Amino acid sequence: MLPVVALVGRPNVGKSTLFNRLTRTRDALVADFPGLTRDRKYGQADYDGYHFIVIDTAGVHGDEQGIDAEMASQSLRAIDEADVVLFMVDARDGITSADQAIAQHLRSIGKKAYVVANKIDGIDADAAQADFYELGLGEVYGIAAAHGRGVESLLQRCFDPLLEDYPDMSPTPVEATDEEGEDELHHSEIDYDALPLKLAIVGRPNVGKSTLTNRILGEERVVVYDMPGTTRDSVFIPMERDGRDYILIDTAGVRRRGRIDETVEKFSVIKTLQAIEEANVVICVIDARETISDQDLNLIGFALNAGRSIVIAVNKWDGLSNDHREEIKRELDRRLGFVDFARVHFISALHGSGVGNLFESVLEAYASATQRIGTSKLTRIMEMAIDEHQPPLVRGRRVKLKYAHAGGYNPPRVIIHGNQVNDLPGAYQRYLTNYFRKSLGVMGTPIKIEFRESS
């Protein structure tokens, strides 16, 4: 589980600026779910070693009416879902009545909120900050979101108390030593086959997640189910299939139906993102009867960004004409090009067709993500790639790749050492990534190549 940080404050205080800064290092894939969430944005943040989910809320004034009130209530819900609330104010404006209204709300719900005075660049920061103690929320943290000043220490202050509850937020990657031959050290200690495979089923509302979950559970022996949690949490359902242990991460609330407001609470972006973070393999469900939306692509993007293996299930394949099916396949080819390494299954969760085959791809993706790969094999593949296609010249000198070794697993990371490697153009990096993928027979998992300058 990762902690959730919500940015709240009236418009123009710099929420988007901070959001962009926090999510940038991880490709800033933003899940925008229009209609469902208004203009709330969700992002995966990886900042200064901290790993968390950040929500940029619509601006709240604190005195909204009508449609604005509805939007404000969306922001207030984001506050409920968050572990940490960063209440942003504009250091140059001083306290406004909207700031006061928001502060009053935060005090009334008793949630820990940090007052963040933004835009302290070029002004007397101490004097500007001093004003905001009047909000009655304790310490005031001065930052300049546009330049990054103060952001690190702010995060440290709000995250240190959470480290115990969220050990995953400071990931210590399985870093191999740079000595050749020792790279399998950590990996060899883990027996991935003996661990239950954590499988999340995610997708937009109504694509058929619950139907698929029920179908899978109906066919299998369910060991235990219905572990209570909050609406933000998924339910973890241990199950067994063909002698293998799984934990199904149910984002659809199958085991909670009737207990919560179905249309509103059933789907939660936070729950989906948390489930992705928890999973080893993610089944991304798409509705064949709807055109592929940005929301579908964003969810897939999230899973890949998080380094998760994925299988794509195109559901509701029953009862479609052949022409319609061909049309859907063309559309998929066009829009899913960026995940051409993921298996796509055409299924009917309702009738059960194709559901069993999903598991072959799930296991394949998991095996791909956790396979052991030795230094000599990786270096050989790298050399073959170079033979077929020389690295380019940079400033008149050819980039030299020396050797490759595994840097971690799940997802696989390949570390390549050489000279001028940090100047390798993106096109050549992609060529190498694809070459490794094909040569290793990796399916369904993103593979990451990193470069290290040899000394």
- Select from 13-21, 103-111, 124-132, 133-141 the region that touches ligand GDP (CB under 6 A): 13-21
Q: What phi, psi does 193 have (nearest 5°)?
A: -70, -25
Please state, in angstroms and rounded to a whole number, the distance separating the CA atoms of residues 75 and 98.
Answer: 14
350, 318 contact by CB (below 8 A): yes
Residue 31: which of 302, 252, 287 has the closest Cα?
A: 302
**Binding site as annotated, residues:** 9-16, 56-60, 118-121, 203-210, 250-254, 315-318
- x/- mask, ligand GDP, residues 90-129, rule CB under 6 A, reads ----------------------------xx-x--------
Query: Residue 14 or residue 408: which is nearer to ligand GDP going by CB?
Result: 14
Please state, in angstroms and rounded to a whole number, the distance separating the CA atoms of residues 310 and 317.
Answer: 19
118, 91 contact by CB (below 8 A): yes
The reply on whether position 142 binds ligand GDP by CB under 6 A is no
Residues 61-90 that bind ligand GDP (CB under 6 A): none
The reply on whether position 305 binds ligand GDP by CB under 6 A is no
Residues 45-64 that bind ligand GDP (CB under 6 A): 59
At CA 144, angle to CA 143 and CA 147, rounded to 5? 135
Burial 4-34 (b: 16+ CB within 10 A, else e): bbbbbbbeebbbebbbbbbbeeeebbbbebe
Q: Which two tokens stand for residue 78?
A: 């984001």
Query: Residue 268 or residue 361: which is nearer to ligand GDP going by CB?
Result: 268
Largest alpha-carbon pair distance within the chain? 70
- Select from 68-76, 143-151, 227-235, 303-311 the region that touches ligand GDP (CB under 6 A): 143-151
Query: Residue 206 or residue 357: which is nearer to ligand GDP going by CB?
Result: 206
Binding residue count for ligand GDP, defined by CB under 6 A: 31
5, 53 contact by CB (below 8 A): yes
**Residue 390 gets which letter from DSSP?**
P
From the CB of 313, what's the least distance to ligand GDP, in Å?
A: 10
Query: Residue 268 or residue 379: which is nearer to ligand GDP going by CB?
Result: 268
Query: Residue 9 or residue 418: which is nearer to ligand GDP going by CB?
Result: 9
**Residue 15 gets which letter from DSSP?**
H
Please state, in angstroms and rounded to a whole number, the distance separating the CA atoms of residues 308 and 300.
Answer: 10
Asked whether the CA dihedral 175, 177, 180, 184 is positive or negative, the reply is: negative
- x/- mask, ligand GDP, residues 252-281, rule CB under 6 A, reads x-----------------------------
- Select from 77-85, 100-108, 313-321, 366-374 the region that touches ligand GDP (CB under 6 A): 313-321
CA atoms within 13 A on the CB side of 324: 10
- Select from 43-51, 161-169, 201-209, 276-284 the region that touches ligand GDP (CB under 6 A): 201-209
Query: Residue 98 or residue 421: which is nearer to ligand GDP going by CB?
Result: 98
**Binding site as annotated, residues for GTP:** 9-16, 56-60, 118-121, 203-210, 250-254, 315-318
The reply on whether position 316 binds ligand GDP by CB under 6 A is yes
Residues 205-244 that bind ligand GDP (CB under 6 A): 205-211
Please state, in angstroms and rounded to a whole number, the distance separating the CA atoms of residues 57 and 36.
Answer: 13
Determine how β-strand 221-222 pairs with β-strand 235-241: antiparallel
- Select from 30-38, 142-150, 191-199, 228-236 the region that touches ligand GDP (CB under 6 A): 142-150
Asked whether the CA dihedral 358, 360, 363, 364 is positive or negative, the reply is: negative
Q: Which two tokens stand for residue 345?
A: 């299954």
Based on C-alpha coordinates, what's the Rg of the chain?
A: 24
- Select from 138-146, 337-345, 379-387, 438-446 the region that touches ligand GDP (CB under 6 A): 138-146
3, 44 contact by CB (below 8 A): no
Among 30, 217, 350, 394, which residue sits at the site for ligand GDP (rule: CB under 6 A)?
Answer: 350
The reply on whether position 161 binds ligand GDP by CB under 6 A is no
The reply on whether position 12 binds ligand GDP by CB under 6 A is yes
Binding site for ligand GDP (CB under 6 A): 9, 11-17, 59, 118-119, 121, 144-147, 203, 205-211, 252, 315-316, 318, 348-350
